Chain A
Amino acid sequence: MTDKAIVPAASEFATHYAQRRSSQDRLLHGVYAATFVVVVLLVTIPIAALIYGSLRTSAPGNPGEWTLRNYAGLFTEGVLATMGTTLWIGLVSSAFCIVVGTAIALVVHRTDFKYGKFVNAAVGLAFYFPSFILAMAWIIIGAPGGIYNAVVDGILGMPWARADIYTALGIVFVMVLHQVPFVYLTMSGPIVSMDAIYEEAARTSGAKPHVVLYRVTLPLLSYSLISSFILTFIITIEQFAIPALIGIPGQVTMLATQLYLLVRFSPADYGLAAAVGLALSAITGTAIWAQRRVTRAGRLTTITGKAGRVAPIPLGGWKWAAYALCFGFVFLGLVLPMVMLIYTSLLKWFTANPFAGMYTLRNYAFIWESASALRSFWNTLVVSGIGAAIGVVLGLLCAYFTLRLKPKGYRALDLVASLPFGVPGVVLGLGLLWAYAYLPIPLYGTLAVIIVAFVTRFLPYATETIGGQLVQIDKSLEEAAWVGGATRLQSVFKVLLPLARPSVQSAYFLLFMAFFREISSAILLYSASTQVISISIWAFFEQANWGLASSLSVVATLIIFAAMSLITWLVPTARRR
């Protein structure tokens, strides 16, 4: 109608408007660019360095030549055997974990089991029980000269019942104890939030409770089960501490430990180690890809967000089996290892017979007197406290940009920020080892490099935790703020952040705890002055100083449990996840 009148007015308006516009968005775009650069550098530097290293003949920083021999090295008998061991240990452990973890979750959430709350809390604690401490405790129990063998052979006189933890089955056993809480936690969500109508429909059709379980509940959970299985497989073959502590003495080698051995023991072969690391990453990367496919397919089918309460399944005669399962797990995975560590930490010299022991507190006194032990506590606090804050800020920015603002190139950021999921800790450490030999900044041997490693490794966890909540915050809440006169930045601070706060808190909690326990990505990067507590414990244990390793473990575990209770108490929402 009046096109002509409007158009000139618009172009006149355009010039003065363009100037205002540019100053307004500059800040946000500056932050985006900075985030992009930091994330890309964090993630690509170690990966690129690893690829570079896998193509070189020499150790990092030394003159050498281009070569493909490291890849050829992957196909030697030794490495192929290691791959086979890694795969079968991974598959068998994950299968056991799925069965045990899901069974506990079903008992706790779906039956009339009386101690569900207690088991839920205990399994939650076990989730935060560090793998290397668990492995040490079980070595103290199950080594040829350990407590179990002393009891069955020496006291009970049953030599046929002797067992040796330093075997592949020993690795599987400890691995299962360590990963069951993970399965329990990942399966609890789908089990609790599963819409009750499916089960109610089956019950009204005349199915008995246990028939409903087999015919409806478990099939509905199948996507979650497969997804959880793959994730467990990934974290199992990524695991470093358990196969290293148990497998190295027993000469059972998994890929992660092979890499470590290639770097730490002469003749060192950094190039082959890099190739092994890439091979391991290729396996985990493929598994993650498969897991994403499964979750995407699964989203279409089953679970709604609505939680409904179905009447619990009566356990009846199965009550004792449920007790044995739940309390058995809590005993083997949490109570017994803790008791053993406390016992060992109180002994002057290790003995399997508690009546012959000479008890002392000197292992604890040592922590106070030793400058290095205190420093490693301090280092851990710095790395966890500051590192987790950095990780959460980066994760928050990544989540905001990739899920909300979606500026140009956000897909690339999303992809790059999720890559560390596929890179096992030791592999990341090796990549950084290669990278820092060439980078101009003298980071190697500083706490900063440990923080960089941890932040990189756990960035996807922060992004996912925060992103998971961001996508649930209805976009119109932010739009209402814009319409009400708020700029993008104002709406972020007034609406988005306050609403996302629980996820930011739980991401910080998650990262703090993860950093506190992390060992695999630090094991190749620490120096005497940058030892963190996990490394100190490791070092004492390797020196066969079980007493000191135990006392440090007890203190570290108590700190973890105390921090967890404190945070859960202060911020109830942080518990989620």
Chain B
Amino acid sequence: MSINVQNLVKRYGQVTVVQGISFQVAKGEFLSLLGPSGCGKTTTLRCIAGLENADGGVIKIGDGVVSAPEQGVLIPPHERQIGMVFQSYAIWPHMSVAQNVGFPLAIRKASTAEVARQVDDALGIVGMRHLKDRHPSQLSGGQQQRVALARAIVGRPKVLLFDEPLSNLDAKLREGTRLEIRRLQRELGVAAVYVTHDQEEALSMSDRVIVMEAGRIMQTGTPKDLYRRPSNRFVADFVGRASFIDVQKGPDANTWIAPDGTPIRLDSGRAEAAAHYQAMLRPEAIDLIAAGPEGMRPNGANVLKGRVYDSQYMGAHTEYLVNAAGTTLKVHSTQDFGPGSDVLVSFDPVDCHLVAVEDQAAKAA
């Protein structure tokens, strides 16, 4: 079933932490809420689950309104038929694995045989059937996580909600579990909302990602959209690594002027209207070449003069900090340059995007 959130507002005392956001999640869609810590992702998710009472707006799950405080409707969580995986897993320590997973069925008065069958199924799906009589204290973090998953899906929920379910796992386990969560959700064909502050997780798992900041939606789009064509500085900065060049309007819509006067050709398609603009460059979209003649190349690439100022060896590539166009650019290159080398920085106009800058953000590097 789908989820439909309209103008959701949530306040804690005087502070409004979710400021009237709207989005939809279609049946079978996997949507991530991505944003820095404290931006209101968890609060939004908990409003959908009914664990927090929203202060305004309407939330529908399928055709049913579950939250409409202005109309006096706030369906309690136990009637919303959701499956949820908590950041801390919330595995009940006084119940065995099977009892944990069977809880949503037992509490809805399913027969013992039915509970046993479905628990078996759910544990089978997450590969934990052999541990069903264990107690949670005898499980590793990854195993507890699977139990939490099994418990979330066992009651055939209408929607699945995840609140940073992987943040307590180590890096190796995290990658495997990402794939598994995605596979499960596809099999169940339910709408899923996934909260995370890890952009890699959001990009790799989601059909669509919502980037949030301070209780507002900054941009909604597919992972590729967000990464390649962010519409504002915040999204560009938060999703992936990027360098920014302050630019002023130039002779035509796609040619802008860097602080040192260099003209830069770029793609200005997506930028929102704003007082200030910057040109955004991903480090892997830039080529470093040993110094030579500057200017626009025949094929249309921008070429700027620069000087390597520092570098960090990362294995697959080296990240260089290059002073060019009156700013510092991050560049990933597989070639070797010493500190202080003069280089040419070259990038394609289609890889350079104009982004809108909010006033204070312009000053932050």
List the interface of chain A (C-beta within 8 A of B). Answer: 1-3, 6-7, 9-11, 13-14, 17-18, 24, 474, 476-477, 479-488, 490, 494-495, 498-499
Given contacts A1-B22, A9-B65, contact A483 B94 (CB under 8 A): no
Q: Which of B83-91, B222-230, B236-244, B349-357 contacts A (4 or more CB under 8 A)?
A: B83-91
List the interface of chain B (C-beta within 8 A of A). Answer: 4, 6-7, 22, 24, 49-51, 58, 60, 64-65, 68, 71-73, 75-78, 80-84, 86-88, 90, 92-94, 103-104, 107-108, 151, 155
**Distance in Å: Cβ of A529 to nearest Cβ of chain B:** 45
Closest to A478 in B: B90
CB–CB B68/A10 < 8 A = yes
Partner of A10, one of B7, B58, B81, B88: B58
**Distance in Å: Cβ of B199 to nearest Cβ of chain A:** 25
A167 to B201, CA, bound (A): 75
Closest to B51 in A: A479
Residues of A within 8 A of B90 (CB): 474, 476-477, 479-480
Partner of B92, one of A3, A488, A495: A495
CB–CB A499/B94 < 8 A = yes
CB–CB A483/B6 < 8 A = no
A6 to B94, CA, bound (A): 42
CB–CB B4/A484 < 8 A = no
A480 to B94, CA, bound (A): 14
CB–CB A6/B60 < 8 A = yes
CB–CB A480/B86 < 8 A = yes
Partner of B73, one of A2, A14, A488, A494: A14
Residues of A within 8 A of B58 (CB): 3, 6-7, 10
**Distance in Å: Cβ of A18 to nearest Cβ of chain B:** 6
Residues of A within 8 A of B50 (CB): 482
For A1, A24, A484, which residue has the most chain B Cβ atoms within 10 angstroms? Answer: A484
CB–CB A474/B78 < 8 A = no
Partner of A3, one of B6, B104, B155: B6
CB–CB B151/A10 < 8 A = no
**Distance in Å: Cβ of B226 to nearest Cβ of chain A:** 20
Given contacts A481-B103, A483-B82, A490-B107, contact A13 B155 (CB under 8 A): no
Given contacts A6-B6, A6-B65, contact A482 B78 (CB under 8 A): yes
**Distance in Å: Cβ of A289 to nearest Cβ of chain B:** 26
**Distance in Å: Cβ of A415 to nearest Cβ of chain B:** 20
What 10 A-B pairs are tightest by C-beta distance, nearest first? A484-B104, A10-B68, A480-B90, A476-B90, A482-B77, A10-B71, A14-B71, A10-B65, A476-B86, A483-B84
**Distance in Å: Cβ of B159 to nearest Cβ of chain A:** 11
Residues of B within 8 A of A480 (CB): 84, 86, 90, 92, 151
Given contacts A13-B73, A479-B51, A480-B84, contact A485 B107 (CB under 8 A): yes
A-B contact pairs, 23 of them (CB 8 A): A6-B58, A10-B58, A10-B65, A10-B71, A11-B71, A13-B71, A14-B68, A14-B71, A14-B73, A476-B86, A479-B77, A480-B92, A481-B92, A481-B107, A483-B49, A484-B78, A484-B107, A485-B155, A486-B103, A488-B76, A490-B78, A494-B107, A495-B94
Closest to B63 in A: A9
Residues of B within 8 A of A495 (CB): 92, 94
Residues of B within 8 A of A11 (CB): 68, 71
Q: Is the interface of A mostly helix, strand, loop or mixed?
A: helix
CB–CB A476/B155 < 8 A = no
A479 to B51, CA, bound (A): 7
Given contacts A10-B68, A474-B90, A484-B104, contact A17 B4 (CB under 8 A): no
Closest to A484 in B: B104
CB–CB A483/B73 < 8 A = no
Residues of B within 8 A of A494 (CB): 103, 107
Residues of A within 8 A of B107 (CB): 481, 484-486, 490, 494
Closest to A481 in B: B103
Residues of B within 8 A of A9 (CB): 65
CB–CB B76/A14 < 8 A = no
A476 to B164, CA, bound (A): 13
List 5 additional contacts besides A17-B73, A479-B49, A483-B51; criterion CB under 8 Å. A7-B58, A13-B73, A14-B72, A474-B90, A479-B84
A477 to B89, CA, bound (A): 8
Closest to A17 in B: B73
CB–CB B94/A487 < 8 A = no
**Distance in Å: Cβ of B136 to nearest Cβ of chain A:** 11
**Distance in Å: Cβ of A527 to nearest Cβ of chain B:** 46
CB–CB A483/B77 < 8 A = yes
For B22, B73, B108, B151, which residue has the most chain A Cβ atoms within 10 angstroms? Answer: B73
Residues of B within 8 A of A482 (CB): 50-51, 76-78
CB–CB B88/A476 < 8 A = yes
Closest to A495 in B: B92
A479 to B47, CA, bound (A): 13
CB–CB A479/B86 < 8 A = yes
Closest to B49 in A: A483
Partner of B155, one of A6, A477, A484, A487: A484
CB–CB B76/A477 < 8 A = no
For A6, A17, A474, A485, which residue has the most chain B Cβ atoms within 10 angstroms? Answer: A485
CB–CB A6/B104 < 8 A = no
Given contacts A6-B65, A485-B104, contact A477 B92 (CB under 8 A): yes
A484 to B104, CA, bound (A): 4
CB–CB B6/A2 < 8 A = yes
CB–CB A499/B93 < 8 A = yes
Residues of A within 8 A of B151 (CB): 480, 484
A476 to B103, CA, bound (A): 15
CB–CB A1/B6 < 8 A = yes
Residues of B within 8 A of A484 (CB): 78, 103-104, 107, 151, 155
**Distance in Å: Cβ of A4 to nearest Cβ of chain B:** 10
A483 to B83, CA, bound (A): 7
**Distance in Å: Cβ of A24 to nearest Cβ of chain B:** 8
